[in-house]
């Protein structure tokens, strides 16, 4: 199957500012991709282009469609949850379900109601009576009941407490994701999605600076806790980053044999958060 998302030279400019700078990438079906970057890096602009919300230069194919000219067809196969869930304050839960059932041919009402039954949401509850977490739950119930092939999540748990965040991603895995669906997530809380990602893309200043599967990340990057007497030997292998923890140097290496690094100290896989900081700033915070 061709890629669910495919970009070649994708570019978006706002006046003199380049938000996305000629990027290339592909996302196969059945993957959960983390698109991670600091504020202003271009990640939300990339998603907006894929959803047909903005014009752009270059080539971008989503489910085989061009978002600029085929958005109506595209959105039959795509669902989107933004960082700010906006619903009319007067809207009731049952009204939201009725509306989506009326406008989307692939909406499964029974599935939505089953998910809602496992929350504190009630059919007659109005949006103005809900917490932000409950509004996100309502969005998720509506989205998970649509048989879409691509789910785009832009900071979906922003502002939610840790219990809601953990439940959100658990529901996503248990009740939505399968090998026929693809999920693209942007988030600043990378440590909370690390365990569900299959692929990782780092974006900085409108450019993709890292794109790899999580398996490739594990094979390529190694973190070593180096005792003082072996720091010189470790530095000779050109670590890409270094920090100090409890008097020991923790060094990050790219593409160096783990067997070789094991002679210098304790080795481990870096977290996505640590890899992100090293990639974005060249140093650990």
Q: Check residue 284 and give its pLDDT.
A: 37
Q: Check residue 171 and give its pLDDT.
A: 80
Question: What's the pTM value of the predicted model, to 2 decimals?
Answer: 0.85
Give the C-alpha separation, 261 to 1, whole Å: 39
CA nearest neighbour of 99 among 47, 141, 51: 141
Burial level of 183, CB count in 10 A (0-12/13-18/19+)?
Answer: buried
In degrees, to the nearest 5, what angle opens at C-alpha 57 toward C-alphas 60 and 281?
85
Give the C-alpha separation, 106 to 98, whole Å: 13
**95: phi then psi, degrees, rounded to nearest 5:** -70, -40
What does the DSSP 8-state code read for residue 180? T
Given a contact cutoff of 8 angstroms between Cβ atoms, the answer to whether 34 and 169 are in contact is no
DSSP letters, 131-177, are -HHHHHHHHHHHHHTB--SEEEEESTTTT--HHHHHHHHHHIIIII-
Q: For the chain, where are the E strands, in sequence order?
A: 5-14, 17-27, 32-36, 57-62, 78-81, 150-154, 182-186, 199-204, 207-213, 221-226, 241-245, 248-254, 266-268
DSSP lists the bridge partners of residue 253 as 222
The tens place of each residue's pLDDT in the chain, 285 residues long, gives 478 999 999 999 999 999 999 999 999 999 999 999 888 889 999 999 999 999 999 999 999 999 999 998 898 889 888 765 677 889 999 999 999 999 888 899 998 998 898 888 999 999 899 987 888 888 888 888 888 899 998 887 776 778 878 887 888 888 777 778 899 999 887 888 888 999 999 999 999 999 999 999 999 999 999 998 999 999 999 999 998 888 789 999 999 999 999 999 999 999 998 898 888 864 334
């Amino acid at each position: 199957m061709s890629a669910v998302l495919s970009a070649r030279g994708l570019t978006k400019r706002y006046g003199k500012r380049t938000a996305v700078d000629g990027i290339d990438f592909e996302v196969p079906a059945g993957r959960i991709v983390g698109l991670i970057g600091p504020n202003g890096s271009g990640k939300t602009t990339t998603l907006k282009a894929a959803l047909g919300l903005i014009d752009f230069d270059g080539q971008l194919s989503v489910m085989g469609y061009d978002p600029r000219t085929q958005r109506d067809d595209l959105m039959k196969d795509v669902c989107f949850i933004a960082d700010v869930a906006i619903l009319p304050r007067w809207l009731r839960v049952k009204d939201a379900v009725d509306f989506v059932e009326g406008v989307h041919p692939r909406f499964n009402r029974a599935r939505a109601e089953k998910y809602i039954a496992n929350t504190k949401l009630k059919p007659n509850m109005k949006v103005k009576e809900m917490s932000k977490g409950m509004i996100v739950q309502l969005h998720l119930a509506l989205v998970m009941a649509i048989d879409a092939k691509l789910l785009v999540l832009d900071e979906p748990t922003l502002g939610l407490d840790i219990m809601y965040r953990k439940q959100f991603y658990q529901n996503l895995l248990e009740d939505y994701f399968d090998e026929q669906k693809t999920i693209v997530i942007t988030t600043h809380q990378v440590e909370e999605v690390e365990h569900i990602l299959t692929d990782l893309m780092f974006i900085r200043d409108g450019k993709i600076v890292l794109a790899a599967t999580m398996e490739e990340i594990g094979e390529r990057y190694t973190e070593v806790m180096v005792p003082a007497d072996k720091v010189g030997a470790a530095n000779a292998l050109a670590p890409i980053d270094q920090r100090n923890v409890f008097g020991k140097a923790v060094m990050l290496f790219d593409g160096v044999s783990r067997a070789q690094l094991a002679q210098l100290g304790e080795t481990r896989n870096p977290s996505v958060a640590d890899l992100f900081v090293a990639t974005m700033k060249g140093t650990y915070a």
